[in-house]
Chain A
Amino acid sequence: MNKTVPVKPAPRVAFALQCADLLAQLRRDTAGVVSASIATADGLPVASTLTEDPEIDKLAAISGSISALASALSRQVGQGDPDRFILESASGTIVSLKVPGQQGGMVLTVVTDRNAVLGKLLWDCRATAVGVASSASQLAA
Protein backbone atom coordinates (compact mmCIF):
# COMPACT_ATOMS: atom_id res chain seq x y z
CA MET A 1 0.00 0.00 0.00
CA ASN A 2 1.24 3.41 -0.89
CA LYS A 3 1.56 6.23 1.59
CA THR A 4 1.32 9.85 0.58
CA VAL A 5 2.21 12.55 3.00
CA PRO A 6 -0.53 15.15 3.39
CA VAL A 7 0.76 18.45 2.11
CA LYS A 8 -1.16 21.69 1.73
CA PRO A 9 -2.25 23.34 -0.47
CA ALA A 10 -4.24 21.17 -2.86
CA PRO A 11 -1.79 21.27 -5.84
CA ARG A 12 0.88 19.85 -3.58
CA VAL A 13 -1.43 17.04 -2.56
CA ALA A 14 -2.03 16.29 -6.21
CA PHE A 15 1.72 16.28 -6.77
CA ALA A 16 2.27 13.93 -3.84
CA LEU A 17 -0.33 11.58 -5.28
CA GLN A 18 1.40 11.65 -8.67
CA CYS A 19 4.69 10.87 -6.96
CA ALA A 20 3.07 8.02 -5.06
CA ASP A 21 1.83 6.53 -8.35
CA LEU A 22 5.30 6.77 -9.89
CA LEU A 23 6.89 5.16 -6.84
CA ALA A 24 4.31 2.37 -6.84
CA GLN A 25 5.04 1.72 -10.51
CA LEU A 26 8.77 1.59 -9.82
CA ARG A 27 8.27 -0.86 -7.01
CA ARG A 28 5.89 -3.01 -9.05
CA ASP A 29 7.91 -3.13 -12.27
CA THR A 30 11.49 -3.35 -11.01
CA ALA A 31 12.84 -6.52 -9.46
CA GLY A 32 14.14 -6.26 -5.94
CA VAL A 33 12.74 -2.84 -5.01
CA VAL A 34 11.77 -2.89 -1.34
CA SER A 35 10.83 0.75 -0.96
CA ALA A 36 10.98 4.03 -2.83
CA SER A 37 10.65 7.49 -1.34
CA ILE A 38 10.72 11.11 -2.45
CA ALA A 39 11.89 13.85 -0.09
CA THR A 40 12.64 17.52 -0.47
CA ALA A 41 16.30 18.53 -0.54
CA ASP A 42 15.95 19.77 3.03
CA GLY A 43 14.66 16.43 4.26
CA LEU A 44 10.90 16.69 4.32
CA PRO A 45 8.84 13.73 3.06
CA VAL A 46 6.83 14.08 -0.15
CA ALA A 47 5.74 10.51 -0.92
CA SER A 48 6.83 6.98 -0.08
CA THR A 49 5.88 3.36 -0.57
CA LEU A 50 6.58 2.92 3.13
CA THR A 51 3.59 3.08 5.45
CA GLU A 52 4.96 4.02 8.87
CA ASP A 53 5.16 7.78 9.42
CA PRO A 54 8.18 7.78 11.75
CA GLU A 55 10.12 5.65 9.29
CA ILE A 56 9.11 7.89 6.37
CA ASP A 57 10.10 11.05 8.25
CA LYS A 58 13.46 9.67 9.33
CA LEU A 59 14.31 8.30 5.90
CA ALA A 60 13.43 11.67 4.35
CA ALA A 61 15.72 13.56 6.73
CA ILE A 62 18.62 11.13 6.23
CA SER A 63 18.09 11.23 2.46
CA GLY A 64 18.36 15.01 2.49
CA SER A 65 21.51 14.90 4.60
CA ILE A 66 23.32 12.21 2.67
CA SER A 67 22.45 13.79 -0.66
CA ALA A 68 23.93 17.08 0.52
CA LEU A 69 27.00 15.30 1.90
CA ALA A 70 27.48 13.41 -1.37
CA SER A 71 27.30 16.72 -3.23
CA ALA A 72 29.81 18.26 -0.84
CA LEU A 73 32.20 15.34 -1.36
CA SER A 74 31.82 15.45 -5.12
CA ARG A 75 32.36 19.21 -5.27
CA GLN A 76 35.31 18.94 -2.91
CA VAL A 77 37.14 16.65 -5.33
CA GLY A 78 36.26 18.80 -8.31
CA GLN A 79 33.57 16.63 -9.85
CA GLY A 80 30.63 19.00 -9.39
CA ASP A 81 27.20 17.91 -8.26
CA PRO A 82 26.58 14.16 -8.56
CA ASP A 83 23.48 12.89 -10.37
CA ARG A 84 23.21 9.87 -8.14
CA PHE A 85 25.05 7.70 -5.67
CA ILE A 86 24.85 4.00 -4.89
CA LEU A 87 25.35 2.22 -1.58
CA GLU A 88 25.89 -1.53 -1.84
CA SER A 89 25.83 -3.99 1.02
CA ALA A 90 25.42 -7.72 1.48
CA SER A 91 21.68 -7.21 1.92
CA GLY A 92 21.02 -5.10 -1.13
CA THR A 93 21.44 -1.72 -2.71
CA ILE A 94 20.36 1.85 -2.01
CA VAL A 95 20.20 4.29 -4.89
CA SER A 96 19.76 8.02 -4.38
CA LEU A 97 19.04 10.32 -7.30
CA LYS A 98 18.61 14.03 -7.46
CA VAL A 99 15.34 15.22 -8.93
CA PRO A 100 15.83 18.69 -10.38
CA GLY A 101 13.27 21.35 -9.50
CA GLN A 102 12.53 24.47 -7.57
CA GLN A 103 13.85 25.13 -4.05
CA GLY A 104 16.76 22.75 -4.40
CA GLY A 105 14.79 19.97 -6.03
CA MET A 106 14.11 16.63 -4.42
CA VAL A 107 15.78 13.33 -3.66
CA LEU A 108 14.57 9.92 -4.84
CA THR A 109 15.75 7.12 -2.56
CA VAL A 110 15.23 3.51 -3.61
CA VAL A 111 16.03 0.54 -1.39
CA THR A 112 16.40 -2.94 -2.90
CA ASP A 113 17.17 -6.46 -1.83
CA ARG A 114 19.71 -8.70 -3.54
CA ASN A 115 17.34 -9.51 -6.40
CA ALA A 116 17.83 -6.13 -8.03
CA VAL A 117 19.83 -5.92 -11.25
CA LEU A 118 21.79 -2.70 -11.03
CA GLY A 119 21.55 -1.61 -14.65
CA LYS A 120 17.81 -2.14 -14.83
CA LEU A 121 17.40 -0.53 -11.42
CA LEU A 122 19.29 2.61 -12.42
CA TRP A 123 17.39 2.87 -15.69
CA ASP A 124 14.03 2.62 -13.96
CA CYS A 125 15.07 5.00 -11.18
CA ARG A 126 16.08 7.55 -13.78
CA ALA A 127 12.71 7.21 -15.51
CA THR A 128 10.95 7.73 -12.18
CA ALA A 129 13.03 10.79 -11.38
CA VAL A 130 12.23 12.26 -14.80
CA GLY A 131 8.56 11.61 -14.17
CA VAL A 132 8.67 13.30 -10.78
CA ALA A 133 10.52 16.29 -12.23
CA SER A 134 7.96 16.55 -15.02
CA SER A 135 5.09 16.52 -12.52
CA ALA A 136 6.85 19.15 -10.41
CA SER A 137 7.36 21.45 -13.39
CA GLN A 138 3.68 21.12 -14.31
CA LEU A 139 2.79 22.06 -10.76
CA ALA A 140 5.05 25.09 -10.91
CA ALA A 141 3.66 26.24 -14.29
Chain B
Amino acid sequence: MVNLPNALSGETKIVFTGPMGAGKTTAICAVSDSKTLSTEVPMSDGALRAKTTTTVGFDYGECRLDEAHTLRLFGTPGQERFRFMWDILAQGAFGLVVLIDNTQPDPIGDLQRYLEAFAPHIPRQRTVVGIGRMDEAPSPSIDDYCQRLGSIDPLIPIIEVDVRRPEDVRLLLSVLVSLVEVQHE
Protein backbone atom coordinates (compact mmCIF):
# COMPACT_ATOMS: atom_id res chain seq x y z
CA MET B 1 0.00 0.00 0.00
CA VAL B 2 2.61 2.54 1.09
CA ASN B 3 6.20 2.45 2.18
CA LEU B 4 6.34 2.38 5.91
CA PRO B 5 9.48 3.48 7.64
CA ASN B 6 9.58 3.48 11.39
CA ALA B 7 6.54 5.70 11.69
CA LEU B 8 4.30 2.79 12.65
CA SER B 9 4.87 0.06 15.15
CA GLY B 10 4.24 -3.54 14.15
CA GLU B 11 0.56 -3.46 15.05
CA THR B 12 -1.30 -0.20 14.83
CA LYS B 13 -4.81 0.47 16.06
CA ILE B 14 -7.10 2.42 13.75
CA VAL B 15 -10.64 3.41 14.77
CA PHE B 16 -13.48 3.75 12.27
CA THR B 17 -16.32 5.92 13.48
CA GLY B 18 -19.27 7.91 12.15
CA PRO B 19 -23.06 7.89 12.32
CA MET B 20 -25.20 4.79 12.05
CA GLY B 21 -25.44 3.64 8.45
CA ALA B 22 -22.27 5.39 7.29
CA GLY B 23 -20.63 2.05 6.45
CA LYS B 24 -18.13 1.35 9.23
CA THR B 25 -18.84 -2.38 9.38
CA THR B 26 -18.83 -2.61 5.57
CA ALA B 27 -15.55 -0.72 5.32
CA ILE B 28 -13.77 -2.97 7.81
CA CYS B 29 -15.09 -6.09 6.08
CA ALA B 30 -13.96 -4.69 2.73
CA VAL B 31 -10.27 -4.48 3.65
CA SER B 32 -9.82 -7.13 6.32
CA ASP B 33 -7.57 -10.02 5.44
CA SER B 34 -9.48 -12.54 7.52
CA LYS B 35 -12.94 -12.99 8.94
CA THR B 36 -14.04 -9.95 10.91
CA LEU B 37 -15.57 -9.90 14.36
CA SER B 38 -18.96 -8.24 14.48
CA THR B 39 -21.44 -7.34 17.21
CA GLU B 40 -24.37 -6.42 15.01
CA VAL B 41 -27.89 -7.02 16.29
CA PRO B 42 -31.30 -6.40 14.71
CA MET B 43 -32.60 -2.86 15.05
CA SER B 44 -35.62 -2.80 17.34
CA ASP B 45 -36.96 0.55 16.23
CA GLY B 46 -37.17 -0.11 12.52
CA ALA B 47 -34.83 -0.34 9.57
CA LEU B 48 -32.80 2.53 8.15
CA ARG B 49 -33.15 2.20 4.37
CA ALA B 50 -32.00 -1.37 3.67
CA LYS B 51 -30.11 -1.50 6.95
CA THR B 52 -31.75 -3.84 9.46
CA THR B 53 -28.90 -4.40 11.92
CA THR B 54 -26.70 -2.12 13.97
CA THR B 55 -23.37 -2.48 15.78
CA VAL B 56 -23.70 -2.33 19.56
CA GLY B 57 -20.20 -3.39 20.67
CA PHE B 58 -17.52 -3.03 18.05
CA ASP B 59 -16.30 -4.43 14.77
CA TYR B 60 -12.80 -5.80 14.44
CA GLY B 61 -10.67 -6.69 11.48
CA GLU B 62 -7.04 -6.75 10.47
CA CYS B 63 -5.39 -5.31 7.38
CA ARG B 64 -1.82 -6.35 6.70
CA LEU B 65 0.22 -3.62 5.07
CA ASP B 66 3.46 -5.56 4.59
CA GLU B 67 5.53 -8.24 6.27
CA ALA B 68 6.16 -6.09 9.30
CA HIS B 69 3.04 -3.95 9.68
CA THR B 70 -0.57 -4.80 10.40
CA LEU B 71 -3.42 -2.38 10.99
CA ARG B 72 -5.89 -3.46 13.64
CA LEU B 73 -9.22 -1.96 12.63
CA PHE B 74 -11.87 -1.20 15.27
CA GLY B 75 -15.33 0.05 14.28
CA THR B 76 -17.42 1.91 16.84
CA PRO B 77 -21.18 1.80 17.24
CA GLY B 78 -22.64 4.82 15.48
CA GLN B 79 -25.48 5.64 17.79
CA GLU B 80 -24.98 8.24 20.51
CA ARG B 81 -26.25 5.99 23.28
CA PHE B 82 -23.18 3.81 22.80
CA ARG B 83 -20.84 6.73 23.31
CA PHE B 84 -19.21 4.97 26.25
CA MET B 85 -17.84 2.50 23.69
CA TRP B 86 -16.24 5.34 21.74
CA ASP B 87 -14.08 6.27 24.73
CA ILE B 88 -13.12 2.65 25.35
CA LEU B 89 -12.24 1.95 21.72
CA ALA B 90 -10.31 5.20 21.27
CA GLN B 91 -7.84 4.30 24.02
CA GLY B 92 -4.45 3.60 22.48
CA ALA B 93 -5.66 4.33 18.96
CA PHE B 94 -3.12 5.65 16.54
CA GLY B 95 -5.45 7.05 13.89
CA LEU B 96 -9.08 7.83 13.19
CA VAL B 97 -11.24 7.30 10.09
CA VAL B 98 -14.54 9.19 10.17
CA LEU B 99 -17.16 7.96 7.70
CA ILE B 100 -20.07 10.23 6.83
CA ASP B 101 -23.33 9.48 4.99
CA ASN B 102 -23.98 12.46 2.71
CA THR B 103 -27.68 11.62 2.39
CA GLN B 104 -28.31 12.49 6.04
CA PRO B 105 -29.94 15.83 6.91
CA ASP B 106 -26.81 17.47 8.39
CA PRO B 107 -23.73 15.50 7.35
CA ILE B 108 -21.29 18.33 8.09
CA GLY B 109 -22.78 18.66 11.57
CA ASP B 110 -22.40 14.89 11.96
CA LEU B 111 -18.72 15.17 11.03
CA GLN B 112 -18.13 17.99 13.49
CA ARG B 113 -19.73 15.98 16.29
CA TYR B 114 -17.53 12.94 15.71
CA LEU B 115 -14.37 15.00 15.34
CA GLU B 116 -15.11 16.72 18.64
CA ALA B 117 -15.95 13.44 20.38
CA PHE B 118 -12.63 11.83 19.43
CA ALA B 119 -10.41 14.90 19.67
CA PRO B 120 -9.45 14.19 23.31
CA HIS B 121 -8.23 10.71 22.35
CA ILE B 122 -6.78 10.86 18.83
CA PRO B 123 -4.87 13.82 17.36
CA ARG B 124 -6.55 15.54 14.42
CA GLN B 125 -3.28 15.19 12.51
CA ARG B 126 -4.03 11.47 12.40
CA THR B 127 -7.59 11.75 11.14
CA VAL B 128 -9.07 11.20 7.69
CA VAL B 129 -12.67 11.64 6.58
CA GLY B 130 -14.56 9.57 4.01
CA ILE B 131 -17.79 10.98 2.58
CA GLY B 132 -20.15 8.32 1.25
CA ARG B 133 -23.25 8.27 -0.96
CA MET B 134 -22.28 11.46 -2.78
CA ASP B 135 -23.76 9.93 -5.92
CA GLU B 136 -27.16 10.01 -4.20
CA ALA B 137 -26.61 13.37 -2.51
CA PRO B 138 -23.97 15.56 -4.22
CA SER B 139 -24.51 18.37 -1.73
CA PRO B 140 -22.73 19.30 0.43
CA SER B 141 -19.70 19.02 -1.77
CA ILE B 142 -16.17 18.25 -0.65
CA ASP B 143 -15.46 21.99 -0.96
CA ASP B 144 -18.38 22.70 1.36
CA TYR B 145 -16.90 20.34 3.94
CA CYS B 146 -13.47 21.94 3.61
CA GLN B 147 -14.86 25.43 4.03
CA ARG B 148 -16.91 24.54 7.08
CA LEU B 149 -14.11 22.55 8.70
CA GLY B 150 -11.45 25.11 7.93
CA SER B 151 -11.86 26.67 11.32
CA ILE B 152 -11.39 23.32 13.08
CA ASP B 153 -8.49 21.91 11.11
CA PRO B 154 -7.95 22.76 7.45
CA LEU B 155 -5.48 19.92 7.09
CA ILE B 156 -7.84 16.99 7.70
CA PRO B 157 -8.12 15.09 4.39
CA ILE B 158 -11.70 14.71 3.16
CA ILE B 159 -12.25 12.12 0.44
CA GLU B 160 -15.30 10.83 -1.43
CA VAL B 161 -15.58 7.08 -0.93
CA ASP B 162 -17.75 4.08 -1.59
CA VAL B 163 -16.93 1.86 1.37
CA ARG B 164 -18.14 -1.22 -0.49
CA ARG B 165 -15.05 -0.83 -2.69
CA PRO B 166 -11.93 -2.15 -0.95
CA GLU B 167 -9.72 0.20 -2.97
CA ASP B 168 -11.61 3.21 -1.58
CA VAL B 169 -11.15 2.06 2.00
CA ARG B 170 -7.49 1.28 1.33
CA LEU B 171 -7.14 4.81 -0.01
CA LEU B 172 -8.37 6.20 3.30
CA LEU B 173 -5.89 4.03 5.18
CA SER B 174 -3.09 4.99 2.82
CA VAL B 175 -3.75 8.67 3.36
CA LEU B 176 -3.85 8.13 7.09
CA VAL B 177 -0.53 6.30 7.06
CA SER B 178 0.94 8.96 4.77
CA LEU B 179 -0.03 11.63 7.28
CA VAL B 180 2.02 9.80 9.86
CA GLU B 181 4.97 9.53 7.52
CA VAL B 182 4.87 13.26 6.80
CA GLN B 183 4.78 14.01 10.52
CA HIS B 184 7.89 11.90 11.01
CA GLU B 185 9.88 13.55 8.26
Q: Which residues of A does B touch, CB under 8 Å?
A: 40-44, 57-58, 60-62, 64-66, 68-69, 71-72, 76, 103-104
Contact = CB atoms under 8 A, between A and B. Distances in A.
Interface in B43-62: 43-45, 54, 56-58
Given A69-B58, A72-B57, 4 more contacts: A42-B41, A69-B57, A103-B42, A104-B42
A29 to B, nearest CB: 29
A72 B58 CA distance: 10
A72 B44 contact: no
25 contacts: A41-B41, A42-B42, A42-B54, A43-B79, A43-B81, A57-B81, A60-B81, A61-B84, A62-B84, A64-B56, A65-B39, A65-B56, A65-B57, A65-B77, A65-B82, A65-B85, A66-B57, A68-B40, A68-B41, A68-B56, A69-B57, A72-B39, A76-B37, A103-B42, A103-B44
B37 A68 contact: no
Contacts of A104: 41-42, 44
Which 6 A-B pairs give the minimum distances between C-beta atoms?
A68-B39, A104-B42, A40-B44, A61-B81, A41-B41, A69-B57
A64 B41 contact: yes
A104 B56 CA distance: 12
Given A65-B39, A71-B39, A72-B38, A44 B45 contact: yes
A90 B40 CA distance: 32
Contacts of A71: 39
A89 B77 CA distance: 27
A57 to B, nearest CB: 7
A65 B78 CA distance: 12
Contacts of A57: 81
A35 to B, nearest CB: 18
Q: Which of A40, A42, A43, A104 has the most CB of B within 10 A?
A: A42
Nearest to A41: B41
A44 B38 contact: no
Contacts of B77: 65
A43 B53 CA distance: 12
B117 to A, nearest CB: 15
Interface string B69-109: 00000000101011011000000000000000000000000
Contacts of B57: 65-66, 68-69, 72
A43 to B, nearest CB: 6
Contacts of A44: 44-45, 81
A62 B84 CA distance: 8
A44 B79 CA distance: 11
